[in-house]
Amino acid sequence: MEKRLIIMLMAATVAVTGAKAQSDDFGMWYEVNIEKKLTNRLDIDLSLENRSRDNHQETDRWSAGVGVSYKLTDWLKASAGYSFLYDNVYKVNNSGKKYADYWGIRHRFNVSLTASKSFGNLSVSLRERWQYTYRPERTVDRYWTYTDEDDDRYEGEKADEHTYSGKANNKWRNRLQLKYKLSKMVRPYVAGETYVAGSGMDKLRLSLGSEFRITKKHSLDVRYLFQKAYDDDDEEGNKHVIGFGYTYKF
C-alpha cells in the first residue's frame, strides 16, 4: 500500500507539471529542519531552505529561520519565528529597456495560532498566521536590455545605478490541512492556504504530499504545490513546485 501511494503521488506530480501553462513557472524546493523539544509544551526549531525558479534553471532563494512554539492546550498551539531571506532578484523597469540582476535580503517575522483535531486516523488543522516582511533599501547597477538590431544597447552594458527604496508588507495567511495516518510510516495530506494583503487576495497555494516517518527522530516530506498569484508583492507569479523536506527531532 505504501509503495502504491508513492507511485500515485509521483504520477500525479508528473501529470500536473507536464500539463502546466507556458506562462507558469516550475521550481524545486529543498528544506532541512531541526526540532528540539525543550519541555512537554515548548519546542524550538531551526530551518534551511533552497528554492529554484525558471524551470529549475535558476536559484531563486536561500533562507534560514528560527522559531519557537508553545502548546497552549491539547488542541491549540502558538508559535513565532524569524527568517532571513537571500533572494536572487531580476527586475525590469516600466519601459522594458533597463534591468537589474542582483542578490538582495529580506527579513521576515511571523506569529501563528494552530488548532488541530483528530478523528480516528484523520487529523484536521487550521493555522492562522500574521506575516511581516521588510526589504531594506538597496542601490544596484542597472543594465541595458537589447531591443532590436539597429540599437547599440545590449544586455550586459551598464546603464546606470538605481536605488530601490525599502519596502515592508503585511500578509494574513490561512492554511487548512487534512492528514491521514495510512500506516505507522506513511501519512498523506492535502492542504490549501490563502495569502491576504491590504488589497485583498494575494495568492493561493494548494498542496498534495505525504510525510514519511522513517524513525522517531527522522522523517521525510514529499509534496507537489501549485501557487496561483493574484497581486503578489514578491513577484513570484504562478508556480508548480515539487518539494522535498527532511526533519530531525530530538
Q: At CA 242, angle to CA 228 and CA 209, rounded to 5?
A: 90
Query: For the residues of 180-240, what is the DSSP string, one character each?
Result: E--SSSEEEEEEEEEEEETTEEEEEEEEEEEEEE-SSSEEEEEEEEEEEESS-TT---SEE
> Average pLDDT for consecutive 10-residue bins of the chain (250 residues)?
50 48 85 97 98 96 98 98 97 88 97 98 98 97 80 82 95 98 97 93 96 97 96 74 98
What's the CA gap between 124 and 118, in Å, rounded?
Answer: 6
Biggest distance spanned by C-alpha atoms of the chain: 70
Contact in structure between 49 and 77 (CB atoms under 8 Å): no
What's the CA gap between 66 and 107, in Å, rounded?
Answer: 12
The three cell numbers locating residue 127:
493555522
What's the CA gap between 176 and 161, in Å, rounded?
Answer: 44
Contact in structure between 172 and 180 (CB atoms under 8 Å): no
CA dihedral (78, 192, 117, 212) positive or negative:
negative
Q: What pairing do the DSSP bridges indicate for beta strands 42-53 and 58-71?
A: antiparallel
DSSP-assigned letter for residue 183: S
Contact in structure between 9 and 224 (CB atoms under 8 Å): yes
At 35 the pLDDT is 98
At 234 the pLDDT is 55
At 237 the pLDDT is 81
At 17 the pLDDT is 45
What's the CA gap between 83 and 89, in Å, rounded?
Answer: 18
Q: How many CB atoms lie within 10 A of CB 14?
A: 12
List residues bridging with 158 in a β-sheet: 143
Global confidence as pTM: 0.86
DSSP-assigned letter for residue 11: H
- Phi, psi of 15, rounded to the nearest 5 degrees: -65, -45
At 6 the pLDDT is 47
At 49 the pLDDT is 98
At 121 the pLDDT is 97
Tell me which residue of 70, 62, 199, 79 sits closest to 129, measured CA to CA: 79
